[in-house]
């Protein structure tokens, strides 16, 4: 296990350097070479001039040094520190994505398992129709429909807005108002990604139910609940765990649509507004921060997958030490 974690850690570090280098080249090297007058962008971003006459790797090293020190410069528009902007906006996006992921798992797992245990039933057909709608719909359409129905028509939830978790806003006090204002954004993510996970859970459970070890457990007299809990669900959830890290990463990118619909002051909305006014310091900070989060999430998923399924971490060692077959 330690060797597996170290290999994955080295891979995550290499991926972070590769992505930040690509970010630096796209945002600064290419624009500067196309338009030399944009050198002030890099100088303002790092609060001190870079050696623009040096090689690219040297410029990237200086840029990376500022990133590690948290010195990402100031916004061209508001002149506010980029670190402060990220510190205020990142909790909103994290709350949106993590809460949405929890809700789509809570909805998708039991519905997918029930559909697999009752294939071709009325409930399975209804769940399949809902799954197709969720897969086909765009998050903006889902968000506006939910906002119209629950917020404007039925007055069950707020149409838009955000309350801080600590309750330091006037009229927004504590976690209850925080969750109340995020309920529709969470539900938007749940309908969007929950359809995919419901389909995946259903297919994984159906495949696991057809395996020999399930038949053996039933032949030994194990109850259906024990077979489902000990043999079916544990193996059926492995592909779900793999996709969870990737889909949460995708959700950070899709948060821009949900934040726009519900007026949330998260990273997505700030990225859109910064893109319109070419506020490169803020854009760079958002891209670097999102890159770090995605790399860490994938590293965490790899470790959890190896912990749940020991075959993953032992396969490479086993095959590496296996002698060649005779005659090979």
Whether pTM > 0.75 for this model: the answer is yes
pLDDT of residue 153: 92
* Ranges of each domain in the chain: 2-68, 93-265
Q: Which residues of 121-134 are buried (b: 16+ CB within 10 A; e: fewer)?
A: eeebeebbeebeeb
pLDDT in tens, 281-317: 888 889 999 889 889 888 888 888 777 776 665 554 4
* pLDDT exceeds cutoff 70 at 47: no
pLDDT in tens, 113-149: 988 888 888 888 888 887 778 788 888 999 999 999 9
Element of type H or E holding 8: helix 2-24
pLDDT of residue 73: 77
Q: Which residues of 86-113 are buried (b: 16+ CB within 10 A; e: fewer)?
A: beebbbbbebbbebbbebbbebbbebbb
pLDDT in tens, 88-99: 999 999 999 999
State mean pLDDT over 248-262.
89
Q: State the pLDDT confidence band at 195, using cuts at 50, 70 and 90.
A: confident
Q: State the pLDDT confidence band at 326, using cuts at 50, 70 and 90.
A: very low
pLDDT of residue 316: 47
Residue 325 CA to residue 195 CA, distance in Å, equals 46
pLDDT of residue 37: 44
**Nearest to 188, CA basis, from 99, 124, 115, 123:** 99
Fold of 93-265: MetI-like fold (1.10.3720)
């Amino acid at each position: 296990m330690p060797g597996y974690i170290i290999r994955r850690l080295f891979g995550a570090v290499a991926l972070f350097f590769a992505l930040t280098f690509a970010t630096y080249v796209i945002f600064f090297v290419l624009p500067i070479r196309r338009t030399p007058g944009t050198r002030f962008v890099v100088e303002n971003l790092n609060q001190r001039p870079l050696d623009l006459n040096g090689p690219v790797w040297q410029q990237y090293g200086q840029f990376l040094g500022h990133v590690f020190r948290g010195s990402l410069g100031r916004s061209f528009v508001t002149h506010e520190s980029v670190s402060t902007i990220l510190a205020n906006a990142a909790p909103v996006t994290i709350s949106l994505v993590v809460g949405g992921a929890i809700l789509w798992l809570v909805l998708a797992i039991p519905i997918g398992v029930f559909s697999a245990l009752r294939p071709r039933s009325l409930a399975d057909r209804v769940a399949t129709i809902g799954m197709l709608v969720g897969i086909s719909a765009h998050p903006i359409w889902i968000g506006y429909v939910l906002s119209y129905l629950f917020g404007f028509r039925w007055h069950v939830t707020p149409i838009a807005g955000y309350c801080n978790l600590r309750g330091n806003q006037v009229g927004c006090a504590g976690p209850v108002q925080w969750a109340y204002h995020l309920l529709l954004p969470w539900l938007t993510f749940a309908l969007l990604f929950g359809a995919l996970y419901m389909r995946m859970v259903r297919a994984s459970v159906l495949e696991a139910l057809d395996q020999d070890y399930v038949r053996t457990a039933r032949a030994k007299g194990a109850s259906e609940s024990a077979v489902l809990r000990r043999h079916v669900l544990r193996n059926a959830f492995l592909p779900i765990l793999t996709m969870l890290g990737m889909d949460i990463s995708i959700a950070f990118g899709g948060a821009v649509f949900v934040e726009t619909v519900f007026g949330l002051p998260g990273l997505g909305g700030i990225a859109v507004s910064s893109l319109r006014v070419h506020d490169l310091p803020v854009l760079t900070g958002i891209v670097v921060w999102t890159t770090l989060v995605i790399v860490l999430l994938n590293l965490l998923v790899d470790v959890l997958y190896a912990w749940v399924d020991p075959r993953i971490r032992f396969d490479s060692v086993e095959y590496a030490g296996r002698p060649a077959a005779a005659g090979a």
